[in-house]
Chains A and B, each alone.
Chain A
Amino acid sequence: MDAIRLTIDGQEVGARQGMTVLEAAQSAGIYIPTLCADPDLEPYGACRLCVVEIEKMRGLPTSCTTPATDGMVVYTNTPAVNEVRRTTIGLLLSDHPSECLICDRKERCQPFDICLRNVVVTERCVTCPKNGHCELQEVVDYLGITEIPFRRTTKSLPVDDSNPFFYRDLNKCILCGKCVRVCDEVLGVGAVALTYRGYASLVATFGDKPILDSNCVSCGECVAHCPVAALMPKKAELPTEEVATTCVYCGVGCGIYLGTRDGQIVSVRGRRDGTVNNGLLCVKGRYGFDFVHHRDRLKTPLIKKKGKFVKASWGEALDFVASKLKGYKSDEVAVISSAKCTNEDNYIAQKFARAVLGTNNVDHCARLCHASTVAGLGATFGAGAMTNSINELRDAGCILAIGTNTTEAHPIIALEMKRAVDKGAKLIVANPREIDLVRWSYLWLRHQPGSDVALLMGMMKVIVDEGLIDQAFIDERCENFDAFKKSLKGFDLDFVERTTGVPKDKIAEAARIYATEKPSALLYAMGITQHSHGTDNVIATANLAMLTGNIGKPATGVNPLRGQNNVQGACDLGALPNVYPGYQAVADANIRKKFEAAWGCSLPSSSGLTITEMIDAAGNKKIKAIYLIGENPLLSEPDITHAREALEKLEFLVVQDIFLSETAKLADVVLPGASFAEKDGTYTNTERRVQRVRKAIEPIGDCRPDWWITCEIGKGMGGKGFDFDRPSKIMDEIASLTPSYGGISYRRLEGSGLQWPCPTKDHPGTPILHTQQFTRGKGRFIPLEYKPPMELPDKQYPLVLTTGRSLYHFHTGTLTRRVEGLNVLKGEGTVEIDPEDASSLGIADGEKVKVISRRGEVVARAKVTEVSPPGVVFMTFHFAESPANMLTNPALDPVAKIPEYKVCAVRIERV
Chain B
Amino acid sequence: MKVDIAKEVDEIASRYSRESGNLIPILQEAQEKFGYLPEEVMQRFARFLRLPESTVYGVSTFYAQFKLTPTGKTLVKVCRGTACHVRGGARILREVEKRLGIKPGETTSDLEYSLETIACFGSCALAPVMVIDKNVYGRMTTTKVGQILAETK
Most buried by A among B43, B51, B52: B52
Known: A206-B42, A207-B39. A214 touches B54 (CB 8 A): yes
Q: Does B41 contact A (CB under 8 A)?
A: no
Q: How large is the interface on B (under 10, 10 to 19, 20 to 34, 35 or more residues)?
A: 10 to 19
Set of chain A residues within 8 Å of B42, measured between Cβ atoms: 206
Complex Cα gap A215–B57 (Å) = 13
Asked if A862 is at the interface (CB within 8 A of a chain B CB), the reply is no
B18-52 Cβ-contact flags toward A at 8 Å (1 or 0): 00000000000000000000010011001000111
Q: Contacts A206-B42, A206-B43, A207-B39: A192 and B54 contacting too (C-beta < 8 A)?
A: yes
Nearest Cβ on chain B to A162's Cβ, whole angstroms: 16
Q: Give Cα A215 to B56, complex, Å.
A: 14
Q: Does B116 contact A (CB under 8 A)?
A: no
Apart from A206-B54, A206-B56: 19 A-B pairs, beta carbons within 8 A:
A189-B52, A190-B51, A190-B53, A191-B52, A192-B54, A193-B52, A193-B57, A195-B54, A195-B57, A195-B58, A196-B62, A197-B61, A204-B61, A206-B39, A206-B42, A206-B43, A214-B54, A215-B53, A440-B50
Q: List residues of chain B with CB within 8 A of the CB of A190.
A: 51-55
Contact B52 A195 (CB under 8 A): no
Q: Are A204 and B52 in contact (CB under 8 A)?
A: no
A–B Cβ pairs within 8 angstroms, 13 of them: A192-B54, A196-B61, A196-B62, A197-B61, A204-B54, A204-B57, A205-B54, A206-B52, A206-B53, A206-B56, A214-B53, A214-B54, A439-B50
Q: How far is the CA of A193 from the CA of B58 in the complex (A)?
A: 6
**A145 CB–B CB distance under 8 Å:** no
A441 to nearest B CB, angstroms?
9
A194 at the interface (CB under 8 A from B): yes
In the assembled complex, A184 has its CB within 8 A of some CB on chain B = yes
A159-199: CB near B (< 8 Å → 1, else 0) gives 00000000000000000000000001000011111111100
Instruction: Tell me which residues across on chain A come within 8 A of B53, comparing CB atoms.
Output: 190, 206, 214-215
Q: Chain A residues near B43 (CB, 8 Å)?
A: 206
Shortest distance from the beta carbon of B4 to any chain A beta carbon, whole Å: 16
The 4 closest A-B pairs by CB, nearest first: A190-B52, A193-B58, A193-B54, A206-B53
CB-defined contacts of B58 to chain A, threshold 8 Å: 193-195, 204
Chain B residues numbered 54-92 whose CB sits less than 8 Å from any CB in chain A: 54-58, 61-62
Instruction: Looking at the assembled complex, report how far the CB atom of B25 sits from the nearest CB atom of chain A, in whole angstroms.
Output: 19
Residue of A nearest to B63 (CB): A197
Q: Which chain A residues in 786-831 approach chain B with CB under 8 Å?
A: none
- Overall SS of chain A's interface: mixed
Query: Which residues of B sit under 8 angstroms from A189, Cβ to Cβ?
Result: 52
Fill in one digit per residue for B119-143: 1 if any A CB lies within 8 Å of its CB, else 0: 0000000000000000000000000
Q: A206-B43, A206-B56, A207-B39 are in contact. Are A195 and B61 (CB under 8 A)?
A: yes
Residues from chain A with Cβ under 8 Å of B50 in the complex: 439-440
Instruction: Give the chain B neighbours of A192 by CB distance below 8 A.
Output: 54
> Given the complex, which residues of B lie within 8 Å of A197, measured CB to CB?
61-62
Grouping DSSP codes into helix (H, G, I), strand (E, B) and loop, the B interface class, with mixed when no group exceeds half, is helix
**In the complex, what residue of chain A is closest to B50 when comparing beta carbons?**
A439
Residues of chain A within 8 A (CB-CB) of B61 are: 195-197, 204
Interchain CA distance A440-B46 in the complex, whole Å: 13
Q: Within the assembled complex, what's the spacing in Å between the Cα atoms of A818 and B53? A: 32
CA–CA, A196 and B64, complex, Å? 9
**Residue among B39, B53, B61 with max Cβ neighbours from chain A (10 Å):** B61
Per the bound structure, the CA–CA distance linking A80 and B51 in Å amounts to 41
Q: In the complex the two chains form, is B62's CB within 8 Å of A191's CB?
A: no
Cβ B57 vs Cβ A207 within 8 A = yes
- Residue numbers in A under 8 Å from B39 (CB-CB): 206-207
Residue of chain B at shortest CB distance from A188: B52
Q: Give Cα A205 to B42, complex, Å.
A: 13
A439 and B54 alpha carbons, distance in the complex (Å): 15
Chain A residues whose C-beta falls within 8 Å of the C-beta of B55 in the assembled complex = 184, 190, 193
Chain B residue numbers with a CB within 8 Å of A194 are 58
A193 and B55 CA atoms in complex are apart in Å by 6
Say how far B46's CB is from chain A's closest CB, in angstroms.
8
Cα A197 to Cα B63 with chains together (Å): 8
- CB-nearest residue of chain A relative to B47? A439
Give, as a whole number of angstroms, the nearest-CB distance from B36 to chain A.
Answer: 13
**Identity of the chain A residue whose Cβ is nearest the Cβ of B58 in the assembled complex:** A193
B contact residues around A439 at 8 Å (CB)? 50
CA distance A195 to B57 in the complex (A): 7
Query: Could you tell me the distance between the alpha carbons of A189 and B55 in the complex, rounded to whole angstroms?
Result: 11
**Nearest chain B CB to A265 CB, angstrom units:** 33
Q: How far is the CA of A206 from the CA of B45 in the complex (A)?
A: 13
The smallest C-beta distance from B17 to any residue of chain A, in angstroms, reads 14
A190 to B51, CA, bound (A): 8
Residue of B nearest to A207 (CB): B39
| Cα–Cα distance between A440 and B58 once the two chains are bound (Å) | 21
C-alpha gap A381/B120 in the complex (Å): 74
| Minimum CB distance partner of B56 in chain A | A206
Q: Are A195 and B62 in contact (CB under 8 A)?
A: yes
B64's nearest neighbour on chain A, judged by CB, is: A197
Q: How many Å lie between the Cα of A195 and that of B53 in the bound state?
A: 12
CB distance from B101 to the nearest CB of A (A): 25
Q: Which residues of A contact B62 (CB under 8 A)?
A: 195-197
**8 Å CB interface, B95-118 against A:** none
Contact of B52 among A184, A196, A207 (CB under 8 A): A184
Complex CA distance for A194 and B59, rounded to whole angstroms: 9
Q: Which residues of A contact B57 (CB under 8 A)?
A: 193, 195, 204-207
- Tell me, rounded to whole Å, the shortest Cβ–Cβ distance linking A453 to chain B: 30
- A216 closest partner in B (C-beta): B54
CA distance A133 to B55 in the complex (A): 31
Give the residues in chain A near B54, CB-CB below 8 Å: 190-193, 195, 204-206, 214
Cβ distance B65 to chain A, nearest Cβ, rounded Å: 13
A834 to B: closest C-beta gap in Å: 15
Residues of A within 8 A of B52 (CB): 184, 189-191, 193, 206, 215
| Chain B nearest CB, measured from A865 CB (Å) | 13
Instruction: Scan A200-218; emit 1 where CB is below 8 A from any B CB, else 0.
Output: 0000111100000011000
Closest to A197 in B: B62
Q: How near does chain B come to A208, taking the closest CB pair, in angstroms?
A: 8
Give A189's nearest chain B residue, CB to CB: B52
B54, closest chain A residue (CB): A193
A642 to chain B, nearest CB (A): 42
Please give, as numbers and ranges, the residues of chain A lying within 8 Å of B46 by CB-CB distance: 206
Question: Which of chain A's residues has its CB closest to B42's CB?
Answer: A206
The residue of chain A having its C-beta at the shortest distance from the C-beta of B55 within the complex is A193
